[in-house]
Amino acid sequence: MNQIQKLPVEERRRLNRLYRKGSITRKQFMQLMKNGLFDHERLEMKRKYLEFIKLHRDEWN
Amino acid sequence: MAEDLIKLLEILNDSSGWFLNFLAYIVAAGLVVMIIIHLYRYGTGKNDWMGRNLEETDQGRQVTLIQLERCQEENDELEKKVILLEQERKELLELIKEKELEITKGKKQVNKLTQEINTLRQLYEELDNRYDDETYTMSQIMYTADEIATAIVEEEHFRQNRDDIFMNLLDYLVNTFKGFREKNPRCIIHVKHPEEDCLIHYAHSSGHSHRVKFYRPPIIGSSAGKAYRTNELYYVPDVENLEYEYDRKELSRKVYRTILCVPIKAGSLDGKTIGVLSVTGTPVDAYEKIEIERAILFASLIYPLIHIDLNKRKETGDEPDSEASG
């Protein structure tokens, strides 16, 4: 990751309005606001977790 | 030939009266001897009462006995085998019981492990959600810092759009609180009145009516005043609880039960508190510890902008009081 993709101010304002109106959920708002920022490690960890669950699902069931 | 034989018989008949008698005696004596011999043999056990030779039967008996002994031996062996098999059966039954116990124990362990795995999965999901929340908060802090820096650099733009800029900045904080619909979080910044012993409105987040500008929390007798006075965070989980310092205004239309007041100050320097950031929430005890900590962080973030702005306004005579009272 060489460049941080910050959202433009106007886009942030627009998302804020949508969230307050209830047009988007908090989860959607969070993901759109983050735009991947600070989230790489979490997503990588989640990918590993989901792979692990998929691999062992049959054994556990 | 036949004639000769008949003649012989006739001769015998004529001359054998004594002979026949003699023969009869002989036969009778023989019979008696035979009876005696039979009785003797029967008495000594050599014959049975029918005159059968018992010695020969003994041989048969011996053979039978040998067979019987063999059968007995075989029977004994079989009985031993039966005992052994019975023991083996018992051992196997015990083994089966042990194995069944092991299986039951194993099943219990499997169930326990399954439950633990499910608990771990739930914990991971919860942890991931919190991690998600934290990374989102980081992005909000970054945007807040960005906009504060821009506001400091672009003074004129900030001066003209102060309310909107602060509304956006405070909305970043509000958006980091969970349960926006339920808690209905709203923020207000109050600063010290230049002359009077109260705080005055400086900025607020979206969701407030314009009337919020006119309220002046007293230094003594309000939650914001207490935070300002003590330079410490003041959290009131229920404003209806009389134990807490809170300005209970008559005819006030309360839409919140929780209020959090954070002093806006320069680090840990005493006497450098310039205002109070107050956050209200609809339910009782609306905020978690992490949310309170975020409010503290945002109060620190916005300090430089408020500090610079207040100093500028003091120089130009455009202090917040004149706006609030208007």
Mutate to test the interface with B, among A10, A18, A34 (most CBs of B within 10 A): A34
- Which tens digit of pLDDT belongs to each residue from A5-54? 899 999 999 999 999 999 999 999 999 999 989 999 999 999 999 999 89
Quick one: pLDDT at residue B7? Answer: 85
The DSSP symbol for B273 reads E
- Which tens digit of pLDDT belongs to each residue from B100-154? 999 999 999 989 998 998 999 999 999 999 999 999 999 999 999 999 999 999 9
As a whole number, mean pLDDT of residues B259-276 equals 87
Whether residue B324 has pLDDT greater than 70 = no
- Specify whether the CB–CB gap between B201 and B214 falls below 8 A: yes
**Which of helix, strand or coil describes residue B184?**
coil
Which of residues 4 through 33 in chain A touch B, CB cutoff 8 A?
A: 6-7, 9, 12-13, 16, 19-20, 22, 26, 29-30, 33
Quick one: pLDDT at residue B177? Answer: 93
The whole-angstrom separation of Cα B109 and Cα B70 is: 56
Domain segments of chain A as ranges: 9-60
Give just the sign of the alpha carbon dihedral B23, B29, B32, B36. Answer: negative
Whether residue A2 has pLDDT greater than 70 = no
Higher pLDDT: B248 or B82? It is B82
Higher pLDDT: B194 or B143? It is B143
Confidence of residue B8 (pLDDT cuts 50, 70, 90): confident
Give me the helices (H) in B176-265, please: 180-183, 223-230
Quick one: pLDDT at residue B252? Answer: 64
- Which tens digit of pLDDT belongs to each residue from B215-259? 999 999 999 999 999 999 999 999 999 999 999 876 566 789 999
Contact across the interface for B135 and A38, Cβ inside 8 Å: yes
Among A12, A16, A38, the residue with its CB nearest the CB of B138 is A38
The whole-angstrom separation of Cα B300 and Cα B155 is: 20
Contact across the interface for B168 and A30, Cβ inside 8 Å: no
Nearest to B146 by CA among B320, B305, B6: B305
- Residue in B closest to A40 by C-alpha: B135
Contact across the interface for A33 and B117, Cβ inside 8 Å: no
The whole-angstrom separation of Cα B145 and Cα B205 is: 17
Contacts with B207 from chain A: Cβ below 8 Å: 20
Burial class of B7 by CB neighbour count within 10 A (0 to 12, 13 to 18, 19+): exposed
Quick one: pLDDT at residue B326? Answer: 35
Mean pLDDT of chain B: 89
For B161, how many CA atoms within 13 A lie in the half-sphere containing its CB?
Answer: 15
- Specify whether the CB–CB gap between B190 and A35 falls below 8 A: no
Contacts with A38 from chain B: Cβ below 8 Å: 135, 138-139
Convert B193-223 to b/e letters by CB count within 10 Å (16 or more is b): beeeebbbbbbbbebbeeeebebbbebeebb
Contacts with A30 from chain B: Cβ below 8 Å: 132-133, 136
Maximum C-alpha span of chain B: 197
Contacts with B139 from chain A: Cβ below 8 Å: 33-35, 37-38
- Residue in A closest to B135 by C-alpha: A38
Residue carrying structure tokens 């098999």: B85
**Which of helix, strand or coil describes residue B152?**
helix
Whether residue B262 has pLDDT greater than 60 = yes
- Is ipTM over 0.85? yes
Tokens of B318: 């455009």
Quick one: pLDDT at residue B251? Answer: 58
- Specify whether the CB–CB gap between B168 and A30 falls below 8 A: no
Contact across the interface for B143 and A12, Cβ inside 8 Å: yes
Whether residue B93 has pLDDT greater than 70 = yes
Contact across the interface for B146 and A6, Cβ inside 8 Å: yes
Residues with Cβ within 8 Å of residue B196, at least 6 apart in sequence:
B216
Whether residue B273 has pLDDT greater than 80 = yes
Residues linked to residue B187 through DSSP beta bridges, in sequence order: B279
Mutate to test the interface with A, among B126, B139, B146, B158 (most CBs of A within 10 A): B139
Chain B residues with CB within 8 Å of chain A CB = 114, 117, 121, 124, 128, 131-133, 135-136, 138-140, 142-143, 146-147, 168, 171, 175, 178, 180-181, 206-207
Among B124, B139, B207, the residue with its CB nearest the CB of A34 is B139
For chain B, list the domains and their CATH numbers: 154-325 (3.30.450.40)
Whether residue B325 has pLDDT greater than 60 = no
- Which tens digit of pLDDT belongs to each residue from B43-75? 888 888 888 777 777 777 788 888 888 999 999
Residues with Cβ within 8 Å of residue B69, at least 6 apart in sequence:
none
Quick one: pLDDT at residue A4? Answer: 67
Among A16, A20, A49, the residue with its CB nearest the CB of B124 is A49
Q: Which amino acid is at B78?
A: L
